[in-house]
Amino acid sequence: MPNGNHEPRRDAIRRLLLKRPAETQGSLVAALQSAGYVATQSSVSRDLKELGAIKTAAGYELPTSRQADDDQFAAVAELLRTIQPAGPNLLVVKTAIGAAQRVALAFDRCDWPEVIGNIGGDDTVFVATESGIAQKNLITRIEHAARS
């Protein structure tokens, strides 16, 4: 693998995750190394973040099965201003003035499992999650969808 070119390794991770979730980053490192790739836990961690992988109960997965949901949210991504955790089960999403209702509706239509419910005001959406892990996963989903 050429120095600085991480795409072949990321493509290999993508192929592995499309087959099945990876229980741990260590299991991905081992699978990559056995396939001849240079991989460490820190490089795999960066690759997972870049790929938009999320940690679920089954392990690390790509959000490809929810591409339509991501597209739904990507349509309102330009309306987002800030995303801030407020405790372990609440996310505060600031939007452009007057845009919170559209963003709240996108959360409703996305049907993301991390979202228990939300309330949209004028420029703020409060999003309830079931746990701190779900909250972190939701932030990753939002960031991934916003980049799409």
The number of residues in the chain equals 148
Q: Does domain 66-147 have CATH number 3.40.980.10?
A: no
Instruction: Walk along the chain (148 residues) and give the pLDDT tens digit of each residue.
Output: 434 568 899 999 999 998 888 999 999 999 999 999 999 999 999 999 888 787 776 788 876 545 556 677 788 889 999 999 999 999 999 999 999 998 998 898 887 889 999 999 999 999 999 999 999 999 988 988 887 6
Q: Where are the chain's structural domains? A: 7-61, 66-147
Task: Tell me what pLDDT residue 90 has.
Answer: 97
Domain 7-61's class? mainly alpha
Task: Tell me what pLDDT residue 75 has.
Answer: 81
Q: Do the beta carbons of residue 95 and residue 80 sit within 8 Å?
A: yes
Q: Which residue has the tokens 């003035």?
A: 97
Three-state DSSP at 139 gives helix
Q: What is the CA radius of gyration of the chain?
A: 17
